[in-house]
Amino acid sequence: MSVGIPIVRAWPEPSGAPLTDPELTALYGRAGHPHLRVNFVSSVDGAVTLDGYSEGLSGAPDKRVFGLLRMLCDGLVVAAGTLRHEGYRAVRLDEQRRAWRREHGLTDCPTLVVVSGSLHLDPAQACFADAPVRPIVLTRDDAQPPPGLTDVADLVRCGADVDLVAGLAELRRRGLAELLCEGGPHLFGALTAADLVDELCLTVAPLLAGAGPGRITAGDASAPRQLGLRHVLTAGDGVLMLRYTRDQDQPAHGGATSAG
């Protein structure tokens, strides 16, 4: 996993030598308490897709950190629209990362958590049908599942709309304390409005995508929140990897916001 385009730390304290996987793991780490980390890739002008998909922005360094962040989380949270559009497969890790998780008292693979107000989901999609851990779907009280969905996933009903505060509280009650959100933009916007985001990991690809609607957050306006820059990593292909966290004196607590 350490071969390929090298990643170095530019700030603080430049690393000089390329970072190994254990060094990257230490830089990102686990919080040790309930924590929501959001991970996105964008162009320098803020686009989250090229030709409609995030794959065009994600090179080898981003994929390396992407896999590392999945290794570190208890639950992987994604909006249903992103799950369908990006064609999510089963959340599986290689043996080295499964071994790391076992050594740290975690299950072999994180639990997939899908946020879906409508339950327009396909139980035959590989992320459900081939999942190593039974997925969880956060949904509305009155949403009707398609045939077969409850055979492959657990439904958690979170009010008339999808109450994200209640949903994340239930995930943590089930032992999924440290969560990684991979989007999409509307879910990120709703989590921000609900004051639930503790950390943003943002990979910036060195290209201009041009004008377009797709940016990393979407939805209704919400109050700005100050973040602190924790590190800047760079890769040989010109990619930046930025890690921001909330002020430790102002932990995320959650407000009354839903993702319908």
What stretches of the chain adopt beta strand conformation (E)?
7-11, 35-43, 75-79, 111-115, 136-139, 154-157, 178-181, 199-205, 227-235, 240-246
**Which pLDDT score is estimated for 3?**
56
Residue range 142-181, pLDDT digits in tens:
999 999 999 999 999 999 999 999 999 999 999 999 999 9
End-to-end CA distance of the chain: 38
Residue range 65-86, pLDDT digits in tens:
999 999 999 999 999 999 999 9
Q: Which long-range contacts (CB under 8 A, 24 or more apart) does 163-169 make?
A: 163/256, 163/258, 164/115, 164/138, 164/190, 164/191, 164/194, 164/196, 164/254, 164/257, 164/258, 164/259, 165/194, 165/196, 165/254, 165/255, 165/256, 165/257, 167/115, 167/138, 168/36, 168/196, 168/254, 169/254
* Top-level class of domain 33-218: alpha beta
Q: How far apart are CA 205 and CA 92, in angstroms?
A: 25
pTM of the model: 0.93
- Residue 158: both structure tokens together: 């979170």
Domain ranges of the chain: 33-218
Q: Tell me the average pLDDT of the chain.
A: 93
Residue 1 has pLDDT above 60, yes or no: no
Of the candidate ranges 48-57, 126-135, 230-239, the one whose mean pLDDT is the lowest: 48-57
**Which pLDDT score is estimated for 259?**
64
**Which pLDDT score is estimated for 138?**
99
Contact between residue 231 and residue 12 where contact means Cβ atoms under 8 Å apart: yes
